[in-house]
Amino acid sequence: MNKTKFLLRTSAIYAVIGVFMGGHMAGAGSYMFRAIHAHILVVGWLSLFAFAVFYALFAIPKKSKLATVQVWSAVFGSFGLTAGMWMYYFQPAWAPELFNLIFYIAGGSVLMISFFAFLILTFVYGKQLTDKQ
């Protein structure tokens, strides 16, 4: 799997969703989605983009299980957190309140795993993290 390409494309999807939400809020004159909009752009677009740049710049082995866990937990966590936040705030009729809360917490927890995996990556592969000459 090309981690850089996957993360970059996923971040682009989040960017389009976030921009669409921002445009909708501005056009409607309602800022009901502002927290979700902000998290989609910061967690979905900015964080995934930063991870993509990290994998593009530094020689992290393609077979690294830690890097694979980091990438997949970032993608699933970003979705889980933002979708769970939407469900928690808007309480759709089809989902029980407890389910919404658990989905929100689980998404955020998976995203935290991604950030901890990223922290560990920077120490495990520290020798590959060098300045350009």
Domain limits at 48? 3-126
Greater confidence, 59 or 130?
Answer: 59
Q: Which two tokens stand for residue 90?
A: 């808007």
77 phi, psi to nearest 5 deg: -65, -40
Indicate whether 131 belongs to any domain.
no
pLDDT on residue 131? 67
Kindly report the CA angle at 36 between 72 and 106, in degrees rounded to 5? 45
Tell me the pLDDT tens digit for each residue of 60-76: 888 999 999 999 999 99
Indicate whether 97 belongs to any domain.
yes
Quote the CA–CA distance of 84 and 3 in Å, as a whole number.
25
Asked if residues 11 and 55 have their Cβ atoms less than 8 Å apart, the reply is no
Total domain count, the chain? 1
Stretch 95-105: mean pLDDT: 91
Indicate whether 47 belongs to any domain.
yes
Indicate whether 39 belongs to any domain.
yes
pTM over the 0.85 mark: yes
CA 116 to chain CA centroid, nearest Å: 13
Tell me the pLDDT tens digit for each residue of 14-51: 999 999 999 988 988 888 888 999 999 999 999 999 99
What's the N-to-C CA distance of the chain in angstroms? 28
Stretch 101-128: mean pLDDT: 92
CA 102 to chain CA centroid, nearest Å: 18
